[in-house]
Amino acid sequence: MSIIEGRNTARGTVAAWVYLLPALIIISVFVFYPLIMAFRMSMYESYNFYKNVGTGFGFASFKRVLCDSDFHIAVKNTLFLSFVAMPVSIIISLVIALLISSIKKFQALFQTFFFLPYVTSVIAVGIVFRWLFHSNYGLINYFLGLFHIHPVAWLNNPKTTIYALAIYYIWGNLAFNTIILLVGVQNIPKMYYNAARVDGAKWGKIIFRITLPQLSPTIIFLTIVGFIASFKVYNEVYALFGDLGGAANSAYTIVFYIYRTFYGAGRMHIAAAAAVILFVAILCITIIQMLVSKKFVHYK
């Protein structure tokens, strides 16, 4: 009774905990325990994964990570994806969504068409992209060739690997972003457009003063999700460059760095320290984003 009535009685509280117990057990085993272990691991100066024993206690691993030049590359690349590739992907998606929503015929067809990449495996698409980026036979270089631009060794030149990764990442996000934005655009009541036309607003003004503000909750949602996802990019690196992470580790992202340090180099406590750093970074960014978005977004 007390639960149904929503009162905070002792019996009600106990019953609530009992109902939550199965979920809590599963979350504890698979989320909290690994999290705590990772924190513990990161505090050792050396650590044996198989025996689960470590020696020394302090911030030495964090220092190692922060001084590692591979980690610097990883941070730089990850930030590039978050601050350049992710916004670019949302902007392109926005344009596509606006275009699709303005065509009358075959709209459903285009919608399906743009959703296809989303249901395709990242790895499979990666293979296709490897071919697209191929320095001799790739389609991208072929097109550049049409404009008399010398072929670029996209995947082998440490200077260009990040661009290849970014292009692949943008393409991979297009489907999801476009579909979500398209739904957002279609959900804007038509009467606002009619009102704006009566009020004499031109096309561009309607987009910036009506459509975008109405879409702002959707855009913020995609930015937050995209931001966190961009911090966790790993599949894409693996799909394009394989196990090694590009020429001279130039395509490392933070998660790929963690992966390499964990498996490749077997320095689990260093990887754990990097993971903790990533965790804290994502946490901070999310909090900041929430605070900022409250100011600018129009929620109904």
Partner 1 sequence: MEIRLENIQKKFSSVVAVHDMNIRIKDGSLTGLLGPSGCGKSTTLFMIAGLYAPTAGNIFFGDEAVTLLPPEKRGIGLVFQNYALYPHMTVLKNILFPLENMKIPKKEALKMAEEMADIVQIRDLLDRKPSQLSGGQQQRVAIARALVKKARVLLLDEPLSNLDARLRLETREEIRRIQKETGITTIYVTHDQEEAMSITDDIVLMDKGWIQQQDSPQQMYLNPGNQFTAEFLGNPPVNIIDGKITDSVLVVCGEKLCGFDGVEDQPVVVGIRPEAVLIGNGDIKASVRLIEIVGKDKIISLDLKGCLIRAIVSLDYDCNVEELLSFSVKHSGVFLFDKTTGARIKGFAS
Torsion angles phi and psi, residue 298, rounded to 5: -95, 110
Q: Which is nearer to partner 1, 40 or 209 (CB)?
A: 209
Residues that contact partner 1, how many (by CB under 8 A): 20
CA atoms of 61 and 80, how far apart (whole Å): 25
Torsion angles phi and psi, residue 156, rounded to 5: -110, -15
Contact pattern for partner 1 over residues 39 through 58, marking x by CB under 8 A? --------------------
Residues 178-207 contacting partner 1, CB under 8 A:
189, 191-192, 194-202, 205
Contact, 141 vs 134, CB < 8 A? yes
Cβ at position 180, least distance to partner 1 in Å: 19
Q: Which is nearer to partner 1, 199 or 243 (CB)?
A: 199
Cβ at position 217, least distance to partner 1 in Å: 10
Cβ at position 296, least distance to partner 1 in Å: 10
- Percent helix, strand, coil in the chain, to 5, is 75, 5, 20
The verdict on 293 binding partner 1 (CB under 8 A) reads no
Q: Which is nearer to partner 1, 196 or 247 (CB)?
A: 196
Q: Which is nearer to partner 1, 84 or 196 (CB)?
A: 196
- The CA dihedral of 99, 104, 106, 107, to the nearest 10 degrees, is 50
Q: Which is nearer to partner 1, 2 or 223 (CB)?
A: 223
Cβ at position 209, least distance to partner 1 in Å: 7
Q: Which is nearer to partner 1, 94 or 166 (CB)?
A: 94
The alpha-helical segments, DSSP class H, found in the chain are 2-5, 10-27, 33-42, 60-67, 69-80, 86-102, 107-115, 122-132, 139-146, 161-186, 190-198, 203-206, 212-231, 235-241, 254-259, 268-296
Contact pattern for partner 1 over residues 134 through 153, marking x by CB under 8 A? --------------------
The upper half-sphere exposure of residue 68, i.e. CA atoms within 13 Å in the direction of its Cβ, equals: 22
Cβ at position 202, least distance to partner 1 in Å: 7
Torsion angles phi and psi, residue 56, rounded to 5: 70, 150
Contact pattern for partner 1 over residues 206 through 225, marking x by CB under 8 A? ---xx--xx-x---------
CA atoms of 73 and 75, how far apart (whole Å): 6
Q: How far from chain centre, in Å, is Cα 239?
A: 16
Contact, 239 vs 198, CB < 8 A? no
Cβ at position 203, least distance to partner 1 in Å: 12
Cβ at position 221, least distance to partner 1 in Å: 16
Q: Which is nearer to partner 1, 106 or 142 (CB)?
A: 106
CA atoms of 145 and 149, how far apart (whole Å): 5
Q: How far from chain centre, in Å, is Cα 48?
A: 32
* Residues of the shown chain interacting with partner 1 in the complex, contacts defined by CB under 8 A: 189, 191-192, 194-202, 205, 209-210, 213-214, 216, 298, 300
